[in-house]
Amino acid sequence: MRSFTNAEPRSLEDAVARIKLASQNKQTVAIAGGGSDLLGMVKEHLVEPDVLVHLRSIKGLDQIVEEKEQVRIGGLVALDTLQQHPLIKAKYAVLAEAAGVVGTPQIRNAGTLAGNVIQRPWCWYYRNAFPCYKNGGNTCFSFNGENEFHAIFGGGPSFIVHPSDTAPALVALDAKFRIVGPAGERTVAAADFFTLPRVNPAKENSLANDEILTEVILPAARPNTRGTYHKILDRESWTHAVVSLALVLEMEGDTCKNARVVLGGVAPIPWRLPKVEAMLAGQRVTADLAARAGALAIEGAQPLAKNKYKLPLTKNVVKRTLVTLSGAAA
Ligand SMILES: Cc1cc2nc3c(=O)[nH]c(=O)nc-3n(C[C@H](O)[C@H](O)[C@H](O)COP(=O)(O)OP(=O)(O)OC[C@H]3O[C@@H](n4cnc5c(N)ncnc54)[C@H](O)[C@@H]3O)c2cc1C
């Protein structure tokens, strides 16, 4: 591991000042939340910062605050806290459930919400330092290689899948991200934050290297709204989704007023299904409608040579989760 300076800022302003100073000194910076992923990447030389800015030393970034119109979740809130938080469990179950199925208890203790959303892909070519798009090269080795776990939607030129469990839940909840950096502060909708490889194959989102994700803002939960997160794994635990679904339904009796349907594990970004949402809106949810929604969910999919199995998984997870969450007769 290359040596680096450890920075422990006392405030956000201090953190931004240190990032600015590093850039003036032509030094590279990495920003650490829990460090559960980043420090491993530093050891593996995938990230080689001159300065490591630890956000853990900043007080107040680990709070969950309920206000009249919104709930603010600090970027440093641990996944385990999120999973167990009474307010999040009661009003934003999709997020509590997503946080609760990340990796292992140790990872959920150390890992933060911001770190989970911003984690880099776990594609084996990238993590094993192949000169792919994510490592500064101009090839995606998965396209003609081992692509079992890669994208069936939105791929090209890179075919990674977005690894975060909480990201689809945040898109389904219409969350916003508060971002702070040397250029100031901005707020971006979760749905616009994630970017496809065709925009920039080296990146997964619009965050600049010197920006900090400080807060996730959830709109006040609507009445009669329920949500859930369903994750399919290739083994029992310790791993990312092969296919997952964040589903939020606003119901009136057995009729769906509004739906948010977002897939994980199948695309380089959380993959929202607007056509499925439109099909459900205003309809009585029945087993037949759920089956048609499942079939529509895979429209336009472009599986690679070794991941066609994701099609029936996607179709069925949409169908079954809709039936379960809505309470529709099977
Ligand atoms: C064995 C294993 C299994 C896993 N399984 C899953 C899984 O099932 N589902 C899943 O979703 N994830 C999984 N992960 C990933 C894990 O969730 C992440 O490692 C963790 O959430 C990262 O959080 P962190 O706070 O430790 O981030 P860090 O390691 O500190 O950072 C991760 C990335 O985010 C950036 N970053 C962190 N915080 C900020 C911030 N506030 N502003 C700007 N940039 C920031 C860092 O620069 C880095 O690029 C797994 C990891 C391991 C090792």
Q: 1-53 sits in which CATH class? A: alpha beta
**Can you tell me the mean pLDDT for 13-28?**
96
Residue 116 CA to ligand 1 center (angstroms) comes to: 4
pLDDT tens for each residue of 66-121: 999 999 999 999 999 999 999 999 999 999 999 999 999 999 999 999 999 999 99
CATH number belonging to domain 225-326: 3.30.390.50
pLDDT tens for each residue of 181-196: 999 999 999 999 999 9
pTM value surpassing 0.95: yes
Q: Is 95 in the pocket of ligand 1 (CB under 6 A)?
A: no
Q: 64-119+152-219 sits in which CATH class? A: alpha beta
* Residue of 327, 325, 53 whose CA lies nearest to 180: 53
Q: Is 107 in the pocket of ligand 1 (CB under 6 A)?
A: yes
Q: Is 212 in the pocket of ligand 1 (CB under 6 A)?
A: yes
Q: Is 99 in the pocket of ligand 1 (CB under 6 A)?
A: no
**Backbone phi and psi for residue 40, each to the nearest 5 degrees, phi listed first:** -65, -40
* Domain extents in the chain: 1-53, 64-119+152-219, 225-326
Please report which confidence band the pLDDT of residue 238 belongs to, taking 50, 70 and 90 as the band edges: confident
Spatial contact of 242 and 165, defined as CB atoms under 8 Å apart: no
Q: Is 81 in the pocket of ligand 1 (CB under 6 A)?
A: no
DSSP H helical ranges for the chain: 12-24, 38-43, 79-84, 86-91, 93-100, 105-110, 113-118, 124-127, 166-172, 190-193, 274-280, 287-297, 310-326
Q: Is it the case that residue 245 has pLDDT exceeding 70?
A: yes
Ligand 1 probe mutation, 18, 31, 37, 211, most atoms within 8 A of CB = 37
**Backbone phi and psi for residue 205, each to the nearest 5 degrees, phi listed first:** -155, 180
